[in-house]
A and B are shown apart, each in its own frame.
Chain A
Amino acid sequence: MTEHLNTKNEQLHQRLEKVWGNLPGWGALAAVNHTSIGIRFMVTGMVFFLIGGLLAMLVRTQLALPDQAILGPGVYNQVFTMHGTVMMFLFAIPVLEGLAIYLVPKMIGARDLVFPRISALGYYCYLFGGVIVVSSLIMGIAPDAGWFMYTPLSDASYSPGRGPDFWLLGITFVEISAISAGVELVVSILRSRTTGMSLGKMPIFCWYILAMALMIVFGFPPLVLASIMLELERAAGWVFFTVEGGGDPLLWQHLFWMFGHPEVYILFLPAAGIVSTVIPAFAGRPLVGYNWIVLAIILTLFVSFGLWVHHMFTVGIPALAQAFFSVASMLVAVPTAIQLFAWLATLWGGRVRYSLPMLWIFGFLVIFVCGGLTGVMLALVPFNWQVHDTHFVVAHMHYVLVGGMLFPLIAGFYYWLPHFSGRMPSLTLGRWVFWLIFGGFNLTFLLMHLTGLLGMPRRIYTYEAGLGWDWLNLLSSIGGFVMALGVAMLLVDFILHFRFGRRASVNPWAADTLEWATTMPASSYNFVSLPTVHSRHPLWENPQLPRTIAAGEHGLAELDHIRRETYGSDAITGQVREIFHLPSNSWLPLQAAVMIGLLCISLLLRLYPLAVFATVGAVLVLLRWSWHNGAHPRADPVDEQEPVDPPLHSRTCDGPGLWGMVVALMANGTLYAALLFGWFYLWTVAPRWSAPEESPLALWPLLGSGLLLIATVLVYRSGTRRLRAGNASQLQGRLWLATTIGAGHFGLLLSVLLIAPLSPRSLSHDAVLMVMLLYLLIHSGLAVLLTAMQALRVRIGYVSARLPYEPLVLQPFWTYTLGIFWLGFAVFFLLPKTFGAFAGGDL
């Protein structure tokens, strides 16, 4: 009987593996599967962690004794800049994203994320961007203006080398990866949970990841915009951050910290998610105050966007503003304390099994509470004025990031190790690793608070003897090396683990969440069948789930086709509404990333014809990508046998594409909002803002262009309205009509740009206006192109009354284009006319 069952399970496995497995050999580069991509993210992140750690060791070697010259100031400045950059952008965010990419589908009972090719694109963008950034270090021309690249130090006159370009272009490239992963995680968590998993039954970790992903969506665009502006200033001489011509170096600081502060919580939230997952598993009790914690997560999400100015208390902003941001910064203590006490209460009410992950959680607690407390101190403005930009801040930041991110991450790694390897971690070696890292860390950074209070500024490459800093620095360096030894042992532990670890049993920690119902190591498709969930603790409720899932006793187990399928469900209730068919292995992500990488390199080398070629190449690859969708034979051709209840998502009006479009537009809208912020900021605050007497834009062509845009959107919407009602008779005609009028709008707008007497190299006003016009043109052009493609798809039969999916995905993009045009018109044309920005002169 068992044998018969095993054979049946094996058959199911074989069939699914054939559909879901990666291609053999080099074909692995075409993998889109979230398990593979997630692991790649994490492994690459660990490599960058080692590079960043090596740089930290160089810093500590140089500072160990006073008046040393092991590294000169030039090299030292590159080293500390790159240490921060690598750790923040190439280690911390990607590794957490990797963990989320790996875990989220398994926790919500799905077989993959909803945009698998986007995961792969994100990975390659990250890899190539990271390699480009780090290569500058090998060539000895790394950025050296500090990881927050303050202008004017980072502009062309004070950093004439290529260093900042590597940073601006490489990091922007990596940010594409972060944002795309953010969009994908939001949509996956909201739309692909297994049946019955309402929002309230979702594992708490997914709430944290949802918040993190939303914060990436809203947090990264200001930095992307700022990087584009600074690169334009460096490469083309456009004025944004230079005082002459009406720019302001403080605009960079605002835009940077609008990203930089949410960033801290982007790192902390997933780590706290690990803590909230591990503690209940070892306490053997549900997490206390699930609703409280969800509330705390949402509070953190909002509050963290209102604190960026606390990095700028010493730039001389008005006292009232400082008081506001000071209080807001302290308020973050509230959601953090809620979580802390919920964890305490959970432990208190359970019988805690002592284990390796719990040791790391304990380390997290001690270090993070210290970091939180110094954080509250730093939020107090008069104290901040003293310790800002000293080693006190360096210590605080490492307490928050190492305590709040690295310790939970390692706890999580040990906790989920059986998932990757099918083996159990060793307590003996693990304890050594913990005490070395914990002890070394505290020796390094606890003392560093005092170093800062004794007046040692950050970022100095040496110091004279006898200032009271000597012994502190020496001990900090010794601590740093102890910590490095711990990291080396951690690596040894991991390697030995994969070789010698004890075999793990099913659900080895007796946890409650669905990821422990997969096989270990996880298969490419996660679940043979997708279970129905009745509570937050499916595995505690039904310990038999791993067996019944493998036996194919739940949903979507039959497989008489070669589609990759998972459930698409209602965002709130988790009831199944459709079946998502997901793309299989594809080379398109790699091709697209290569083209974007080529663009990045050609901009670095200032080979602009090559840049044009790479841009065209990237657009072509991406268009091909979107061509292979819906009813295209490569995706899922129309077939009489296909399921109708629930239907395939590409046969519905509300699939994941639409959700992805809306979330992506939220990121895009944030970028636009940051541009408007920049405009208003310079207009009202820049010391030497000046504007021409009359708007350089020609009113009538601009208005004409806007009216044509309205017409385009109306035509497009009339087409999609009928499509929604099941009528596609005039769809092709309307799409072609929209394309034509849209092209007219684009042409007129282009003519406005071409005839406008703009001088972005001498006037900040013109530079911002130019960016806005280019932004509008890119959107209009893209919308026209994509509409033409939809018209073509109607003609070929990939889009029809039965296949209405894609034109509906494009519709919000048109609406958005319309919105930014008229908002831009009001803000850049009408407002200055009304309030006299064109009068010129200083404010």
Chain B
Amino acid sequence: MHRISGIHRNLTPRLSGIATVITPLSLAGCAGPFSTLDPAGPSAAGSAGLWWWMFTLAMLVLLAVVGLWLGAMFGAQKTGDDQQLRRIQQRWIIGGGLLLPWAAIAVLLAFGIPIGHKMLPLPLEGGEILRIDVTGHQWWWQVSYPGSGIQLRNEVHIPVGVPVDLHLTSADVVHSFWVPRLGGKLDMIPGRTNVLRLQADIADTYRGQCAEFCGLNHAHMQFTVTAHAPGDFAAWLTEASASD
């Protein structure tokens, strides 16, 4: 249960409303170590919230369209003069073909753009942000903490409750870094560095995997992200740099 309260603590009231919707659903099978519907950070919560809104709207549209279709197919033939009939039919096209999609697009963008904006790795007001470098290899993850000399394989450690920036690149083919419960994926491309900002709100170990097909052992290219409580993270950092 503390997972849900974690979301409550860190999200805007609007999203917490969504979280109450998610609660029963996650109990009914939306949970799982890779589930995007069981978010544990603001980015993932934003996407999950978007999904539930879009899912609801889409169901309404689908039911309406299928209902109209069945009505049109099995209803009696319309009587009335051609002029009148044509006017009504024009209204169908203008209402359903023009107004409906434009309205839907406007609503989607109104919700989607601010949520997407918050996921971007924009400069923070409150100073430095922890940087972690991750390089994809066929088929493992090389993780390093610049400045500390820490080098890890297939595991990432982060502090809980604050954003971190992952600088992603690849040593061979295209991979994609993805921790579904924390946020969206970002590709790792040879010759480039992409920056992904993630934040975990609960101290836990999260699972990640390569999302871009990268050859023979793509299915087994997995890793973990361990989120430590602030004090624990400092301790881990000291210990890890010492042992290095």
Chain A contacts to B: CB under 8 angstroms: 73-74, 77, 145-146, 150, 152-153, 158, 243, 248-250, 288-289, 292, 296, 314-316, 319, 323, 326-327, 330-331, 333-334, 336-342, 344-352, 354, 358, 362, 365-366, 369-370, 373-374, 376-377, 380-390, 453-463, 467-469, 686-688
Choice from A327, A337, A370, A373 contacting B109 with Cβ under 8 Å: A327
The 10 A-B residue pairs whose C-beta atoms are closest, nearest first, are: A385-B184, A455-B34, A338-B97, A468-B32, A243-B191, A341-B96, A316-B194, A460-B219, A382-B116, A687-B191
Choice from A349, A454, A459, A462 contacting B213 with Cβ under 8 Å: A459
Q: How far is the CA of A819 from the CA of B120 in the complex (A)?
A: 44
- A345–B184 CB distance below 8 A: no
Q: Which chain B residues numbered 46 to 80 have a C-beta less than 8 Å away from chain A?
A: 46-48, 50-51, 54, 58, 61-62, 65-66, 68-69, 71-78
Chain A interface, DSSP helix/strand/loop, else mixed: helix
Shortest C-beta distance, A75 to chain B (Å), equals 11
- B187–A316 CB distance below 8 A: yes
* 30 A-B contact pairs sorted by A residue (CB < 8 Å): A73-B218, A145-B215, A288-B86, A289-B90, A296-B97, A314-B185, A316-B186, A330-B108, A333-B104, A333-B105, A336-B101, A337-B98, A340-B97, A341-B92, A341-B93, A347-B73, A348-B71, A348-B72, A348-B78, A370-B62, A373-B58, A385-B185, A387-B36, A388-B184, A390-B211, A453-B35, A460-B219, A468-B29, A687-B191, A687-B192
B105 / chain A contacts, CB cutoff of 8 Å? 327, 330-331, 333, 376
Give the A-B contact count at a CB cut-off of 8 A: 254
- What would 6 more interface pairs be, CB under 8 Å, given A337-B97, A469-B32? A150-B212, A250-B192, A319-B120, A333-B101, A340-B96, A467-B33
Q: Please, what's the 1-or-0 string for B133-174, where 1 marks a CB less than 8 Å from any CB in chain A?
A: 000001000000000000000000000000000000000111
Q: How far is the CA of A382 from the CA of B31 in the complex (A)?
A: 20
Which of B124-132, B175-183, B231-239 sits within the interface? B175-183
Shortest C-beta distance, A243 to chain B (Å), equals 3
- A158–B108 CB distance below 8 A: no
Choice from B71, B174, B185 contacting A249 with Cβ under 8 Å: B174
A348 / chain B contacts, CB cutoff of 8 Å? 68, 71-72, 75, 78, 89, 92
A289 / chain B contacts, CB cutoff of 8 Å? 89-90, 93
Choice from B74, B185, B215 contacting A388 with Cβ under 8 Å: B185
B61 / chain A contacts, CB cutoff of 8 Å? 369, 373
Shortest C-beta distance, B89 to chain A (Å), equals 4
Does B11 reach chain A (CB closer than 8 Å)? no
Known contacts A342-B97, A385-B47, A460-B218; decide if A362 and B33 are in contact (CB<8 Å).
no
B29 / chain A contacts, CB cutoff of 8 Å? 468
A468 / chain B contacts, CB cutoff of 8 Å? 29, 31-32, 34-35
Does B15 reach chain A (CB closer than 8 Å)? no
Shortest C-beta distance, A70 to chain B (Å), equals 14
Shortest C-beta distance, A329 to chain B (Å), equals 10
Does B17 reach chain A (CB closer than 8 Å)? no
Known contacts A316-B194, A455-B180; decide if A386 and B116 are in contact (CB<8 Å).
no
- A386–B44 CB distance below 8 A: yes
Does B30 reach chain A (CB closer than 8 Å)? yes
- B30, B31, B172, B215 interface centre (most CB from chain A within 10 Å): B215
A365 to chain B: closest residue by CB: B69
Does B230 reach chain A (CB closer than 8 Å)? no
Shortest C-beta distance, A56 to chain B (Å), equals 17
B47 / chain A contacts, CB cutoff of 8 Å? 382-383, 385-386
Q: Please, what's the 1-or-0 string for B10-43, where 1 marks a CB less than 8 Å from any CB in chain A?
A: 0000000000000000000111111111000001
Choice from B54, B69, B85, B217 contacting A383 with Cβ under 8 Å: B54
- A344–B68 CB distance below 8 A: yes
- B215–A158 CB distance below 8 A: yes
Q: How far is the CA of A153 from the CA of B61 in the complex (A)?
A: 41
Q: How far is the CA of A352 from the CA of B212 in the complex (A)?
A: 47
Q: How far is the CA of A354 from the CA of B70 in the complex (A)?
A: 12
- A152–B32 CB distance below 8 A: no
- B73–A352 CB distance below 8 A: yes
Q: How far is the CA of A377 from the CA of B65 in the complex (A)?
A: 18
Does B4 reach chain A (CB closer than 8 Å)? no
Does B6 reach chain A (CB closer than 8 Å)? no
Choice from A73, A150, A346, A382 contacting B50 with Cβ under 8 Å: A382
B213 to chain A: closest residue by CB: A459
B189 / chain A contacts, CB cutoff of 8 Å? 249-250, 315-316
- A243–B185 CB distance below 8 A: no
B191 / chain A contacts, CB cutoff of 8 Å? 243, 248-249, 686-688
A389 / chain B contacts, CB cutoff of 8 Å? 176, 185, 211-213
- A292–B112 CB distance below 8 A: no
Q: How far is the CA of A344 from the CA of B94 in the complex (A)?
A: 12
- A152, A366, A455 interface centre (most CB from chain B within 10 Å): A455
Does B199 reach chain A (CB closer than 8 Å)? no
Shortest C-beta distance, B182 to chain A (Å), equals 10
B100 / chain A contacts, CB cutoff of 8 Å? 337
B50 to chain A: closest residue by CB: A383
Q: How far is the CA of A455 from the CA of B108 in the complex (A)?
A: 23
Shortest C-beta distance, A290 to chain B (Å), equals 11
A73 / chain B contacts, CB cutoff of 8 Å? 216-219
Known contacts A314-B176, A330-B105, A385-B185; decide if A467 and B32 are in contact (CB<8 Å).
yes
A387 / chain B contacts, CB cutoff of 8 Å? 36
Choice from B65, B112, B172 contacting A158 with Cβ under 8 Å: B172
Choice from A158, A349, A454, A459 contacting B85 with Cβ under 8 Å: A349
B179 to chain A: closest residue by CB: A455
B216 / chain A contacts, CB cutoff of 8 Å? 73-74, 77
A333 / chain B contacts, CB cutoff of 8 Å? 101, 104-105
A458 / chain B contacts, CB cutoff of 8 Å? 213
- B219–A334 CB distance below 8 A: no
Shortest C-beta distance, B113 to chain A (Å), equals 7
- A347–B190 CB distance below 8 A: no
- B89–A377 CB distance below 8 A: no
Q: How far is the CA of A354 from the CA of B61 in the complex (A)?
A: 25
- B36–A345 CB distance below 8 A: no
Known contacts A316-B192, A387-B36; decide if A153 and B102 are in contact (CB<8 Å).
no
- B34, B54, B74, B100 interface centre (most CB from chain A within 10 Å): B34
- A73, A315, A354, A390 interface centre (most CB from chain B within 10 Å): A315
Choice from B75, B93, B190, B217 contacting A243 with Cβ under 8 Å: B190
Shortest C-beta distance, A5 to chain B (Å), equals 38
Q: How far is the CA of A296 from the CA of B101 in the complex (A)?
A: 13
- A380–B213 CB distance below 8 A: no
Shortest C-beta distance, B110 to chain A (Å), equals 11
- A386–B180 CB distance below 8 A: yes
Does B115 reach chain A (CB closer than 8 Å)? yes
- B50–A380 CB distance below 8 A: yes
Does B214 reach chain A (CB closer than 8 Å)? yes
Q: How far is the CA of A341 from the CA of B93 in the complex (A)?
A: 5
Q: How far is the CA of A318 from the CA of B104 in the complex (A)?
A: 25
Q: How far is the CA of A314 from the CA of B185 in the complex (A)?
A: 7
Q: How far is the CA of A661 from the CA of B108 in the complex (A)?
A: 45
- B112–A380 CB distance below 8 A: yes
Does B209 reach chain A (CB closer than 8 Å)? yes
- B218–A459 CB distance below 8 A: yes
- A386–B92 CB distance below 8 A: no
Q: How far is the CA of A352 from the CA of B77 in the complex (A)?
A: 8
- A385–B54 CB distance below 8 A: no
Q: How far is the CA of A459 from the CA of B138 in the complex (A)?
A: 15
- A243, A338, A460 interface centre (most CB from chain B within 10 Å): A460
Choice from A152, A292, A381 contacting B97 with Cβ under 8 Å: A292
Does B119 reach chain A (CB closer than 8 Å)? yes
- B102–A385 CB distance below 8 A: no
Q: How far is the CA of A341 from the CA of B97 in the complex (A)?
A: 6
B48 to chain A: closest residue by CB: A386
A377 to chain B: closest residue by CB: B54
Q: How far is the CA of A327 from the CA of B105 in the complex (A)?
A: 8
A284 to chain B: closest residue by CB: B77
Known contacts A334-B101, A334-B102, A454-B35; decide if A358 and B73 are in contact (CB<8 Å).
yes
